[in-house]
Structure 1
Amino acid sequence: MFNLKVFMRCCCENPAAEEDKQVKSSKNSKREIIQAKPHMAINLQNAEPKLIEESVVIAAPLPNQEKNSIEYPRLRLKIIESSTISVGTILKINATGLEGSKRNKNDYKTFIGSQLVDNGEIINDYVIDEESQGMGKQHLLIKFNPSSSKYLISDLGDGTGTFIKVGSELVLKDGFIISFGTSHMKIMSTGSMNSLDKKIVVKFLEGPKINEDFCFQPSDDTILIGRMADCRIRFDDSNLSRYQCNISYHQERGWILKDGNGEKKSTNGTWLYVENEFEIYELLVFKAGKTLFESYLE
């Protein structure tokens, strides 16, 4: 797993001071299909195949041509912060992979990491030279799923991890790891996360409250986390906002995490570690090493 202790040491402001001032694409293996008229077909059991007239050799449509790689959505990743890559750089990804890929496999996958070659093999489509700053040699994977027409992101377990910035809200699942400041907390449940009689357990893995557990019931009021006196989980940590994030239960959707107090967002954000595949949506912000990306779908 990623190194929890070093995540979020970068890209951070001091919220306390700040708030005082202002709180497969379609398969390409067959380029052409020879379509012969019935009386001109090749007999596979005959040792002497018959020649096929040029007039009956036609370009065949790609599998599922009604939705080929051109018609699939395209993903654009804009670098909005980095120690080595120019801010504003755009990575163009289509169904088959990254345009201008160094790996050049066209296998629906885009690998990003700090190292180009390992054991004589090109392992990444795009290289960000931040190995000393948390970027793993093969850090993350972006994969296109032709069945759902969705792009998915996942961490590959090397480096300090891949983290998604919580936007308006996040439906919590068992095992999610949420990070803010120097703290990392794991969401645990004894059963279905959207069951009325199931409690939620928040266990801290790193930070000032390491190894502390907090248990909440669906009937509890909104659980505030931050520096204020009314926070159910309270920190004396200037790296956190007054209201860093909050958790509440909704009968139809289950447990929901929101950044800030629900109205105003935190200064440095609340982040989800991408241990499993996560669907990329419009304006998703994610972090790898010291580089931040923002996504756009076309």
Structure 2
Amino acid sequence: MQSEEIFQQHTANIIVTEAQVRNAPQLTINVVEIPDTSSETLPSTIQYQLHKNQCLDINPLGGNSNLKNGATVFGTVPIGCNPAQYPINVVLAHGDDSNEEDDNTKRKDEDGDQNTAKRHFAIQYHPINNLYMIKDQGEGSGTFAKVEKPYTLANGTLISFGESHMVVQLHRTKHHSDVNRNKLVLKFLDGPRQFEQFTFMPQIGALKIGRMSECDIKLQDAGLSRVQCVVQYIRNSQLEEEGRWVLIDGNPETQQKSTNGTWVYLDEAHVVQDGMIFRACNYLFECKLL
């Protein structure tokens, strides 16, 4: 069963029992980095609440122990308001973290209202599968997970690195004698290649993205590594149409990771793994499972 299917099924009025809580793994979210409040790029209308090295223990019952629905919602609330008035279990900040860059992922309120709570992401315990899932809630500046191992791309996957956001489009095309091929289109939403798009067929095998002139997609961005990431086509069998495109951080040829990481937007539910690193609301978090 796919992560998104599990997430949707679990949110359908499922109650977590005390027995299930006793068998649940312990999940702690560690605050690795906090927002640099001296940075001019951060909005001035926000008061961040978490501290570096703070540990947030996730209750399998959920943020509201009365509901026992397994959901813990992280978000922001208006300045000067009582957080208990809003459906936010963990307050990341008071105020609004929206800025001009939010238009790239289209998660900012159309009216820019700073007097409403914003749900940034939710962590959901699933008792049947005995695991936790994380999903962006579409109201903040986006929740992105760091790519630590080969990540299978889907149509609409949003990738972030340096100053760039890049969306994946997968197309089924026909070649010669009606043989289906998986065509990959990478479209840049911002950054030095804004509005440009690049098309690749499986025959390329692997394509490099980074600062090197030898890269298939070269970007002038000091925040990127020489080889920032690689997108590779992997055949599941001898039939190309059964293959898949995967995203790999850094350069697999040298086994060197990128300096600042390659990130994917969590618009669909992802299973929380031990050591998983993600960012949201200008924080950097790490997951610990016991």
| TM-score using structure 1 length | 0.71
Cα separation, 2, equivalents of 1:232 and 1:95: 45
| TM-score using structure 2 length | 0.73
- After superposition, the C-alpha distances for 1:146-186 in whole angstroms (9 at most, x for unaligned) are 22222111111122111101112211111100011111111
Larger Rg: 1
- Give the 3 Å change call, closer, same or farther, for CA 104–111 of structure 1 in structure 2: farther
State which of 59, 74, 88 in structure 2 corresponds to 1:112. Answer: 74
User: Deviation of residue 221 (structure 1)?
Assistant: 3.4
Cα separation, 2, equivalents of 1:130 and 1:214: 40
Q: RMSD over aligned Cα, in angstroms?
A: 2.6
Cα separation, 2, equivalents of 1:167 and 1:131: 32
Gaps of 5+ in 2: 1-13, 36-47, 100-116, 174-178, 237-242
Cα separation, 2, equivalents of 1:130 and 1:167: 31
Gaps of 5+ in 1: 1-23, 29-64
**What does residue 121 of structure 1 align with?**
85
User: Deviation of residue 120 (structure 1)?
Assistant: 7.3
Identity value in percent: 33
Map 1:26-41 onto structure 2 (within 5 A). 26-27=16-17
State which of 281, 284, 288 in structure 1 corresponds to 2:276. Answer: 284
- After superposition, the C-alpha distances for 1:254-278 in whole angstroms (9 at most, x for unaligned) are 2111111121111111110111111
- Give the 3 Å change call, closer, same or farther, for CA 157–256 of structure 1 in structure 2: same
Contact 1:196–1:218 under 8 Å retained in 2: no
Cα separation, 1, equivalents of 2:94 and 2:169: 33
**What does residue 287 of structure 2 align with?**
295
Secondary structure of residue in 2 paired with 1:112: strand
- After superposition, the C-alpha distances for 1:103-151 in whole angstroms (9 at most, x for unaligned) are 8643210001121768973321111126454597321111112222221
1:255 and 2:242 matched: no
Contact 2:167–2:189 under 8 Å retained in 1: yes
User: Deviation of residue 82 (structure 1)?
Assistant: 1.0
Map 1:127-166 onto structure 2 (within 5 A). 127-129=91-93, 131-134=95-98, 137-166=118-147
Aligned pair count reads: 232
- Give the 3 Å change call, closer, same or farther, for CA 158–137 of structure 1 in structure 2: same
Cα separation, 1, equivalents of 2:229 and 2:260: 11
1:184 and 2:170 matched: no
